[in-house]
Amino acid sequence: MGKVIGIDLGTTNSCVSIMEGGAAQIIPNKEGGRTTPSIVGFQEAGERLVGQIAKRQAATNAANTIYAVKRLIGRKLNSPEVRRMQDTAPYTITDSPNGDARIRLFGRDYSPSELSAIILQRLRQSAEEYLGESVEDAIITVPAYFDDAQRQATKDAGKIAGLNVLRILNEPTAAALAYGLGRETAEKIVVYDLGGGTFDISILEMHDNVFEVLSTSGDTFLGGEDFDLRVVDWIISEFQKETGIDLRNDRPALHRLKEAAERAKCELSSALETNINLPFIASDSLGPKHFNKVLTRQQFEDMILDLVEKSLEPCEKALWDAKLKPQDIDKVLLVGGQTRTPLVRQKVTEMFGKQPSAEINPDEVVAIGASIQGGMLSGEVKELVLLDVLPLSLGIETRGGLFTKIIDRNSSIPLKKALTFTTVADNQTTVEVHVLQGERELARGNRSLAKFELTDIPAGPRGSAQVLVSFDVDADGCVNVSAHDKATGREQNIRITPSSGLGPDEIARLIEEAVRNEQADRIMKKLILSRTRLDGLIESTRRTFSEFGAMLSEDDQTHARQAIARAELAYRSDEIDKLVQAFNELEAFGQKLTESMFAAPASAGMK
């Protein structure tokens, strides 16, 4: 079994995690964020945007930007919950022949599973880029109170995204796994999970690394989205009182209102009041209209009090089903971003008679728990130890994203090997050493082990510095990597202890993948090398021409400038033939320039 990722497919934000070395690691997205907004944007040209970039363009493309799709997954159009969304969402919700809810975009109906799959694909891509290998297996979490249709729809989303969904895991159970990993004490735990669109309460008993769910309850249509809507309704009401304009049917305005409401809600978690300022939110015959008012925490709490209290009834039911009383509970865990609201924490404290735990990050704990479950199924919770040989090659990333091997796979250990590298830019004073393991020609296709920097290299022309990169693998399979600047003697090193196992099946798969992608990798490598070679020739030719170009005729000088310009244009091309042609043309000019340089002194001597 390959790597198993754990995914929290959230209503507002999603998160992906992986087990490495017995510990769960949150995988950042392309923007560097640890969570990804569960938002998909469609543009007329057919481009799909996911996450933060989709959220940024939503104000100008509200009807084609989808958020909170988890609230629709596995639901019928005629359900009260979907009807409520139809009244507030800026996008169009319709139905399918079997009555399931659909979203219409540019004349086509998309199922919530299909839209969720787009988010899952982005999370999968982040994981593959982070791990340097393909990912197929996943654990996906769902609210504990999801029914069979919603669970199956979530599993379908995973299949559409190309994932083999090993298990659909309840979110509170995942949170309990994350909390309980490595703990030996017996505890009864309440997991109060109030996310963007759903609410769950689960009570679990933890003892001897066994997690037993005693009871669960919840509401699959209670969450942060409802809190946001209370603020949106307040803004609409206040604005209508002042201007007489009703914003409920203004889709672009509704999106701006929702965004402002969400921001205000978050600010009121730490502040006693917040200013909501929405310039040019509407206009009439008298001109543009603006909204600018202060919302206090007390006002906000008055708006949402019934929503918070709505979550307490399932808590009481879960206690009853578990045959427990509040005083029997040892720990209360808060999960989901909405639990940061002070009123929520206050009511939970009153309900269970104890302060909730702040040990875990409510936005990340579910994904972490899912990856722990994945690690259990795959065996990757066991620590990797390299024994008598290296199963995969070791090397570093070099210019253009290539993977340069320093130690080949199946080499006997212990051993030590080194190669000398140089700088790729003028006045470069820092070299990043990216250590990788794998068989692919391109760095992104291999496993990233570590990164470190060698600094304070003397500034100079590119190619002048000599940096010796050494790999030292001991008998235990631990790797020491060092970078040594030959000019200054400065050295930086890092010790890498492999953090997760590479079983025979995974090794075979990676090698097979390398063979399968060999042709594509070879073409990409040739493109990178051709571009690098042309870049070096452009730079050297430009310097030589600036110094000795005056020795050429005016026509030849013009041709030289044109050749350099054509080469610079070709450098941006992805066609190898154009790069080679530009290199040959520029090289021919370089020979002519060299001949002129040597001919000049000879001519001078004949006079």
Give the 3-state DSSP-derived string for 521-574, with helices as H, strands as E and coil as C.
Answer: HHHHHHHHHHHHHHHHHHHHHHHHHHHHHHHCCHHHHHHHHHHHHHHHHHHCCC
Residue appearing with tokens 């025979």: 504
d(CA 493, CA 418): 13
* 171 is a catalytic site residue: yes
Residue 591, CA distances (Å) to 91, 459, 569, 577 in order: 64, 29, 21, 21
Residue type, 172: P
Which residues are CB-contacts of 250 (< 8 A; sequence separation ≥ 6)? 282
Dihedral (Cα; 144, 148, 151, 153), 10-degree rounding: -150
- Full DSSP string of 248-286: TT-HHHHHHHHHHHHHHHHHTTT-SEEEEEEEEEEEETT
Catalytic entry in 3, 8, 156, 258: 8
Which residues are CB-contacts of 121 (< 8 A; sequence separation ≥ 6)? 50, 161, 162
Instruction: Quote the DSSP letter at residue 69.
Output: G
Catalytic entry in 193, 441, 521, 535: 193
Residue 484, CA distances (Å) to 186, 434, 454, 490 in order: 52, 15, 8, 6
- Full DSSP string of 81-96: HHHHHHHH-SSEEEE-
Catalytic entry in 3, 55, 70, 258: 70
Cis status of the peptide bond prior to 414, with omega within 30 of 0: yes
* 70 is a catalytic site residue: yes
Pair 190, 200: CB distance under 8 Å: no
Catalytic entry in 20, 100, 133, 171: 171
**Distance linking the first and last C-alpha atoms of the chain:** 81
Instruction: Report the DSSP beta bridge partners of residue 194.
Output: 199
Which residues are CB-contacts of 536 (< 8 A; sequence separation ≥ 6)? 463
d(CA 275, CA 290): 13
* Residues with catalytic roles: 8, 70, 171, 193
